[in-house]
Amino acid sequence: MEFCDECGSMMKTDGDKWVCPNGHEKLRDEAKEAAMTTTEGQESGEVVDVSDVDDSEIGPTVEQKCPECDEVRTVRYEMKQIRSADESETRFFTCTVCGHKWREDDH
């Protein structure tokens, strides 16, 4: 990945040069690009079957009000970064009683 020296935008390749969305250009450097890590050729991960795993063995839990049960229950949670890196993670919850799933974002 290359960033523009002028405006900081992420650049894309265009033949023998890097070009940013604002039109700035710079020549590509083969030696520098050889050291870059790419996702090209990487395989996607396997799907993990957890259907035979006890709920208590899957991830951390917390006491929280389930919107479906309308009562405080033990729920499993997971946090994922699904928005830009400068924003907080999204929390995903699953009620261990009814299986209802929901998410929470900081605003």
Binding residue ranges for Zn(2+): 4, 7, 20, 66, 69, 95, 98
Residue 18 CA, distance from chain mean position: 26
> From CA 66, how far away is CA 95, in angstroms rounded?
6
Binding residue ranges: 4, 7, 20, 66, 69, 95, 98
Which residues, in sequence order, are CB contacts of 6 under 8 Å at separation 6+? Answer: 20, 22, 24
